[in-house]
Amino acid sequence: MRRVLIANRGEIALRVLRACREMDISPVAVYSEIDRDTLPVRLADAAYCIGPSQSSASYLDIEAILRAARQAAADALHPGYGFLAENPGLARACESAGLVFIGPPPEVMRMVGDKVEARRLMQKAGVPVIPGLLERAADAAAIAAFAKTTGYPVILKAAAGGGGKGMRVARSEADLDAAVRGARSEARSAFGDDGIYAEKLMENVRHVEIQILADHHGHAVHLGERECSVQRRHQKLVEEAPSVALRPADRDRMGTLALEVARVCGYRNAGTVEFLLDEKGRPYFMEVNARIQVEHPVTEMVTGCDLVRAQIEIARGDPLRIRQDRLQPRGWAIECRVLAEDPENGFRPSPGRIAALRLPAGPGIRVDTALQPGDEIPLHYDALIAKLIAWGRDRSEALARMRRAVGEFLVAGIRTTLPFHRELLLDPDFVAGRLDIGFVDRVMPRLETAMREAGPDAEVAAIAAAIHATEEAQRRAPAEPARGPGVWVTAGRRAQMESGLLRRPPV
């Protein structure tokens, strides 16, 4: 494997690019017109435009991606996550084109990628599954008939994807038509397939997933669990490894169950088996995500295993370098997803230009991002702009490091979810690990109050004001060179004084 085309964008494209570099593999980027100047494009050995900003005409266009692979003379393709990552059509197209697909074989992707078929398969194998339809729902009437047998609420899910996309809750029959329309529309946009199914909505449960790796030589391992219960509208906001809910015996049992899932479907490469854990600690199979997960860094931090490198090694036919009996997770890791959203206004999207950026560092801190000052954050794609990961010897130390890192993280020019994370990390229920999938909805009123009382970040406000003042001064300034301090320095000092960050000298 000499050259890998990365069929994605943003931080995951950069993450794969770096893994390729370390393995002496040439990375090739693709980009939509709006992503032309992004960091992965600049750092790749070659980059090809695959279409306009709309994902349907670029990152979801299999023909455009394969055309770029041919132009680049790539011999492998990494799909990242999202977009076409779980689309068996892409895996089959790669196979037909003589490209190595860095992921599961197309027949396995089809099997587990169709969430309905995966549920049928697991139920047949004796794996406990959430009560739900075992066929795609033809219309709202089919879901209404199911709900009559199980009772409301029910949850509608995309049959062809995961990641929280294409999901809607119906708490009564009156909600069904709108829920079906919303789920189908989002599923079509995210995965190119509007098929949906329904499950009984389980509440007061934890979302816990198991990371697996399986090679082509009959070896498979699980790398422990990730706690993913801190979520809003089925989108994960914070993940951690391990979970406070699992004892060693529970961990072994769930790991064994995940490996049985992998065996039943003939899984290869990296994947995640997702479960809901009820109040008695009983796991229920939810789905298999046949790709690298957004939250893979927390597993990497506690196991020392480079999951993207492992993906590439498995795809080129290497046997797994790790064995189950040698896996010794160490410490605790927490990940905060930093989104371009305004948490004080219902997590409304916050597109715009990154005016200034300061990334945290120090012991135990990792930041996965492709952000650069001056980048435009568009509305066209997922709002994730960075992942902040903290590792500690135990959960207490990981939390302390994460609090420090959130305080150091500065993004000016757009609103982000950093204020939400700042308050969440102080919440007594979060600190105690009292979590379930309804946690954020319950604590959000008090977090919103805390965010309002804390007010805007003074440093971010000062920088934004300084940049605005500088741009105004430059616009109005005469053409001849100015004397004395530059407009940036003057504007910056003025903004800092006005914000209280810089004291005026005594008279």
- Report strand pairing: 3-6 vs 348-349: unpaired
| Whether the Cβ atoms of residue 114 and residue 126 lie closer than 8 Å to each other | no
Alpha-carbon span 168 to 44, nearest angstrom:
38
Neighbouring CB atoms inside 10 A of 484's CB total 7
- Give the pair of three-digit tokens for residue 57: 């005409």
Q: CA angle, 405 as apex, 394 and 40 as ends, to 5°?
A: 110
Peptide bond into 153 cis (omega under 30): yes
Place of tokens 């790669």: 94
- Look up 415 and say whether it is catalytic: no
DSSP string computed for 301-345:
HHH---HHHHHHHHHTTPPPS--GGG----SEEEEEEEESEEGGG
Alpha-carbon span 161 to 288, nearest angstrom:
10
Task: Name the nearest CA neighbour of 60 among 121, 9, 116.
Answer: 9
Residue from 110, 119, 268, 291 carrying the catalytic annotation:
291
Task: Name the nearest CA neighbour of 124 among 265, 278, 270, 288.
Answer: 265
- Which residues are catalytic, by number? 291
